[in-house]
Amino acid sequence: MLINLNVNGQDRTLEVLPWVSLLDALRDRLNLTGTKKGCDHGQCGACTILCDGKRILSCMTLAVMKDGSSVTTIEGVATDGKLHPIQAAFIEHDAFQCGYCTPGQICSAIGMLQEGKASTRDEVKELMSGNLCRCGANVGIIDAIMEVRENFNK
Amino acid sequence: MNNFSYLKINELAEATAIHATQSGSQYIGGGTNLLDLWKYNLIHPTALIDLTRVKEGQNIRELEDGSVRIGAFVTNADTAYNPLIEQRYPLLSRAILAGASGQIRNMATNGGNLLQRTRCYYFYDPDLPCNKRNPGSGCPAIDGYNRMHAILGTSDECIAVYPSDMSVALAALGATVNVRGRDSIRSISLEDFHRLPGNTPHIENNLRPGEIITSLDLPAEGFRNNYSYLKIRDRNSYAFALVSVAIGLTLSEGVVTQARIALGGVAHKPWRKTDAEEFLKGKAPDEVNFKKAADILLEGARPFQYNAFKIELARRAIVRNGMMALDPSSQLPGAQPSA
């Protein structure tokens, strides 16, 4: 099936079989390997991307389901060579060790801030609970998000 | 994992017609449960009929009699954060937000939430017997590791638990499920929507083949002043319930005038008994009375080797949640215990 996706600002047309996940389409067909396959079952959050402005799990979505949508992956989060505030804060607050969960964490954090529902640290932790980090960088991740949250403009 | 074809349709009539003619086809909403089941080789749809862009069921609106109709294709996130729901049915909002993750709630549809299947790990292993997956093959959970399993409404064939948090709140609110089939439109009370396993654990709800959930109706009374959802789980977040409780109360002059109590995590469907609710009428909303109501609601509870703790846990959770309902502002994120 032929589908159209706007990926990181670029219009792309792909021929995909119906059962190809959006994650596999991004990684294998478009060579955007920043988004990671952690569990492939919607449980770890490493595959989190922004689709039509909302954070979703790309492993639990078929590429064909998003025909016509706009997708932002970790590769598209910085603008004009300038790091997104979340990316800069992650570096500053030691929010990653191995880095595997990090693209998903960053996309999820951006999506979460755009949802505008997290005010307190406890709420941020709750709303980020769909992104697992086995290295234990969670404290730094939440610190980074809390710093950006103070200054976030939708 | 098998191959399938995919079709996105705009009209429900088209969907039901295709479903009727294509054997093995299944409807798909957000796909958060369906694609998981397919990846684990538990289901083998020949075709997926994507309902997310149909013209009906895409909004949330108040009806003339003050009740509210929630579209089946609205996402869980959009429902939980909808101003009408937040103001008039905060119990529903809280329950939805206690489930899954932010990403999953952005993807999952209301209709799909109702139709989600058990996460019993024996059901999820296609190499093991399971009366739900393969009728007549047996239930390894009954004499197996059954910590997550049911204590109420079980049968000799199945002790699986139904995991939806949203449905527990819908049960407490007395929701109605509107469905549409090829030649029919009808409504089913939420209470009658999900089934107990009995000797047909492979049939989980009372939809007829091909029927599509189009919307959910909530009665006008939303218990907006005194409500609480409590979810007890092994982690503070992002885990299924061991036991969950949805409570709604109306109070007048210090006593209960109306009560609703529904339990999750303990049965094949949300567990609610009007006897327990009737008991509370005219009584003070205190721990002694919540405990008596809990005893009524938990009558007939049957422990298995690894989940006996759920009976006392449920009793205490009902009492705790009853007290939490007296001050909804004290609620913590993730439906954790508070107040």
Residue-wise pLDDT for B10-64, tens only, equals 999 999 999 999 999 999 999 999 999 999 999 999 999 999 999 999 999 999 9
User: Is the Cβ of B42 closer than 8 Å to some Cβ of chain A?
Assistant: no
Residues B41-53 pLDDT 10s: 999 999 999 999 9
pTM summary value = 0.98
Query: Residue A151 has what pLDDT?
Result: 82
The whole-angstrom separation of Cα B54 and Cα B116 is: 20
Residues B65-106 pLDDT 10s: 999 999 999 999 999 999 999 999 999 999 999 999 999 999
- Chain B residues within 8 A of A40 when measuring between CB atoms: 39
Nearest by CB: A130 against B31, B81, B101: B101
Nearest by CB: A62 against B31, B36, B334: B31
Identify the bridge partners of residue B69 per DSSP, sorted by sequence position: B61, B217
- Chain B residues within 8 A of A52 when measuring between CB atoms: none
Contact B123, B132 (CB under 8 A): yes
**Nearest residue on chain B to A132, judged by CA atoms?**
B238
The whole-angstrom separation of Cα A122 and Cα B114 is: 28
Token pair in block for residue B112: 């799909």
Contact across the interface for B333 and A57, Cβ inside 8 Å:
no
Residues A58-115 pLDDT 10s: 999 999 999 999 999 999 999 999 999 999 999 999 999 999 999 999 999 999 999 9
**Nearest residue on chain B to A53, judged by CA atoms?**
B106
- Sequence-ordered strand ranges (E) for chain A: 2-7, 10-15, 48-51, 54-57, 70-72
Token pair in block for residue B21: 């003619």
A vs B, Cβ pairs < 8 A, gives 90
Contact B50, A65 (CB under 8 A): yes
Candidates A135, A104, A106; CA nearest to A37 is A104
The type of residue at B251 is L
Residues B229-276 pLDDT 10s: 999 999 999 999 999 999 999 999 999 999 999 999 999 999 999 999
Query: Residue A150 has what pLDDT?
Result: 87
- Chain B residues within 8 A of A117 when measuring between CB atoms: 81
- Sequence-ordered strand ranges (E) for chain B: 5-8, 25-28, 47-50, 60-62, 68-71, 176-180, 185-189, 212-218, 226-232, 243-252, 255-264
Contact across the interface for B35 and A55, Cβ inside 8 Å:
no
Contact across the interface for A55 and B106, Cβ inside 8 Å:
yes
List, in order of start, the domains of chain B with CATH numbers.
5-50 (3.30.43), 227-326 (3.30.390.50)
User: Is the Cβ of B309 closer than 8 Å to some Cβ of chain A?
Assistant: no
Backbone angles phi, psi at B59, to 5 degrees: -140, 180
Nearest by CB: B36 against A56, A60, A127: A60
User: Does the pLDDT at position B157 exceed 80?
Assistant: yes
Work out whether the CA dihedral B269, B275, B278, B280 comes out positive or negative.
Answer: negative
Q: What angle do CA B190, B191, B197 make, to 5 degrees?
A: 110
The dihedral region occupied by B335, where left means phi > 0, alpha psi between -120 and 50, and beta the remainder, is: left
User: Is the Cβ of A16 closer than 8 Å to some Cβ of chain B?
Assistant: no
Cβ burial, residue B288 (10 Å; 0-12/13-18/19+): exposed
- Chain B residues within 8 A of A41 when measuring between CB atoms: 36, 39-40
Contact across the interface for A18 and B48, Cβ inside 8 Å:
yes
Contact A145, A113 (CB under 8 A): yes
Residues A25-47 pLDDT 10s: 999 999 999 999 999 999 999 99
User: Is the Cβ of B77 closer than 8 Å to some Cβ of chain A?
Assistant: yes
Largest CA distance in chain B: 62
CA B237 centroid distance within chain: 18
Contact across the interface for A61 and B333, Cβ inside 8 Å:
no
